[in-house]
């Protein structure tokens, strides 16, 4: 490969990475807990604290961020309702980048968070809660 071709290829790669960082990712979280329970959500990354949000049943909140060029972006959230306290890595760039692209939509149920695959809740991919022993 010639030096010119290498530089053009590198420019293309950097442009794509910059585009992903500029367009970013939008994460939404919805409260689908049974029995119309309220859900308190607190999300953060190594760099950002999204804050504490109270979601009534069927409420949704979200935020937007630029992902890392080196694939290390991770947001984790705690979820509290009644006497339950759970947590989950709601966005892991290596897991989610190619699945939900620029929009990662989640809803929370008692058994764990579910990522929407499309607009139909029945097609969601549900995950177990993270362990406190990690």
- Asked if pLDDT for residue 6 goes beyond 90, the answer is no
Is 1 a domain residue? Answer: no
34 confidence band (pLDDT: 50, 70, 90): very high
78-102 pLDDT, tens digit per residue, is 999 999 999 999 999 999 988 887 8
Q: What is the pLDDT of residues 120-129, one digit of tens each?
A: 666 899 999 9
DSSP string, 35-62: GG--EEEEEE-SS-EEEEEEE-TT-EEE
Going by C-alpha positions, the residue among 115, 49, 43 that lies closest to residue 80 is 43
Residue 109 in domain = yes
Q: Which domain holds residue 81?
A: 25-126
In terms of Cβ atoms closer than 10 Å to its own Cβ (0-12, 13-18, 19+), residue 36 is: exposed
pLDDT at 3: 53
More confident residue, 103 or 3: 103
Q: pLDDT tens digits for 39-92?
A: 999 999 999 999 999 999 999 999 999 876 666 899 999 999 999 999 999 999
Predicted local distance difference test score (pLDDT) of residue 14: 42
Task: Tell me if 34 is assigned to some domain.
Answer: yes
Do residues 64 and 48 touch, judged by C-beta distance below 8 A? no
What's the confidence (pLDDT) of residue 85?
Answer: 98
Q: What is the pLDDT of residues 96-122, one digit of tens each?
A: 988 887 899 999 999 999 999 776 666
DSSP structure string for 60-126 = EEEEEEPPPTTS--EEEEEEEETTEEEEEEEEEHHHHHHHHTTEEEEEEETTEEEE-SSS-GGG-EE
Query: Residue 62: inside a domain, yes or no?
Result: yes
User: What's the structural domain count of the chain?
Assistant: 1
CATH number at residue 68: 2.60.40.10
């Amino acid at each position: 490969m010639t030096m010119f071709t290498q530089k053009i290829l590198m420019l293309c790669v950097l442009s794509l990475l910059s585009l992903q960082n500029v367009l970013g990712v939008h994460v939404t979280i919805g409260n689908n807990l049974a029995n119309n329970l309220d859900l308190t959500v607190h999300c953060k990354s190594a760099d950002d604290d999204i804050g504490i949000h109270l979601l009534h049943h069927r409420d949704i909140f979200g935020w937007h961020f630029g992902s890392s060029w080196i694939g290390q972006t991770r947001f984790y959230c705690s979820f509290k309702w009644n006497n339950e306290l759970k947590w989950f890595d709601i966005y892991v760039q290596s897991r989610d980048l190619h699945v939900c692209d620029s929009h990662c939509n989640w809803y929370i149920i008692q058994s764990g968070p579910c990522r929407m695959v499309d607009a139909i809740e029945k097609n969601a991919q549900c995950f177990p809660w993270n362990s406190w022993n990690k």
